[in-house]
Homo-oligomer: A and B are copies of this chain.
Amino acid sequence: MSILVVGSVAYDTVETPREKRDRQLGGSASFFAIATRGRGDVRCVGVVGDDFRQEDLELLAERGADVTGIQRVPGKSFHWSGRYHEDMIERDTLATELGVFADFQPRIPDAWKESEYLFLANIHPALQGHVLEAMTAPRLVALDTMNLWIETTPDELQAILARVDILLVNDGEARQLTGERSLAHAAAAIRAMGPDRVVVKKGEHGALYFGPDSVLAVPAIILDDVIDPTGAGDCFAGGFMGSLAEAGATRDSSDKVFRQAMLDGTVTASFCPEGFNVEGLLKIDDAAYAARMAVLKGMMIP
């Protein structure tokens, strides 16, 4: 099964109370692609500047991602810089330098337009719309967004929401998007906007799935040590979509396959904060993954 992801391929400078790392590989498409762990043929669409290190593209390729859809153009790569507080949850954005990402126009190679799964990572909703229009007939389309688009481009966001199957957002965004305090009400309101299934990510408190027939609450795996949580949401999405692709899910599949995808998203995301940037993800092997899935089920099944 093929998975197309459109998002940022970027450099992150991350400062924690213990360490600082400059210009490490980051961006939603990077985290997502590595997080799928070969559960689908992942195709990345994005843009980088001429400062982007070839070795970082090679890392993505080594991890099974097709990076031929990542354009390289003159200018600087998208660079985000942030500082985490002592609690390793709150963070301050120090700089957001869009660079070549400011004029990003996703170009989908013709052969990729028939991709079966589509993840529209957090970019301008109008661009998300253009990508979706270019696709032939994806089996499942999932969307991420953020407070910026909820505030500044509500109409474009509503237009794309009406056409996707799954929305993945955090709890604050779900509330902001709907004006509902209760996450149950928020999920119902989002489902009325279009997506049949809603995933609400709550960070250390886990994630909720609201489907046509059921609700599932998945706790976060409790970590001994948090090094750098940047990208965990995109890792969740990668594990989630990889699981769906592996299962051959369609929009008519039963909730069961989506509930399993929630577990895969959670297990995958749990590795992310255990290293800087993508380092935590790179430590996943089948044994570590299976062990953590057993821990998660042990935390869930009474």
Contacts and interface: CB of A to CB of B under 8 A. Distances in A.
A21 interface: no
A161 interface: no
B260 A215 contact: no
B223 A87 contact: no
Given A202-B205, A205-B205, A302 B184 contact: no
B217 A300 contact: yes
A88 interface: yes
Contacts of A86: 181
Interface string A244-273: 000000000000000110110000000000
A214 interface: yes
How many copies the complex holds: the figure is 2
A208 B300 CA distance: 10
Interface in A210-228: 214-219, 222-226
24 contacts: A87-B181, A88-B181, A182-B222, A182-B223, A182-B224, A182-B225, A182-B226, A184-B223, A205-B205, A208-B219, A215-B299, A216-B299, A216-B300, A216-B302, A217-B299, A259-B302, A260-B302, A262-B302, A263-B302, A297-B302, A300-B300, A300-B301, A300-B302, A301-B302
Interface of A: 86-88, 181-185, 202, 205-206, 208, 214-219, 222-226, 259-260, 262-263, 297-302
